[in-house]
Amino acid sequence: MAESIRFGRTVFKEGIMPFVRVCIWEGRDANTKKQVIEKVTAAVSDAISCPREAVQVVIEEVKKANWGIGGTPASEKFPDR
């Protein structure tokens, strides 16, 4: 029998508390990040048939100088973005 997990006031069956980390370059505005959270939540909820309330999304903003693509810092590869 599956155990229940309490998250705040909501109780979920064991194993349905997906956690998604989204890494993006820093500089996006709050509205854009809100849209990312909403759309990722909807996609995960639909894909694995779990309640939207169970999905956790964290946006991690990374400086382009700390993000490498093909051995080159993104700050050099994409200086205008």
Among this protein's residues, is 79 annotated catalytic? Answer: no
Catalytic-role residue among 18, 51, 73, 79: 18
Cα separation values, 10 from 6, 13, 35, 39, 78, Å: 6, 10, 23, 21, 43
DSSP 3: P
List residues with catalytic annotation.
18
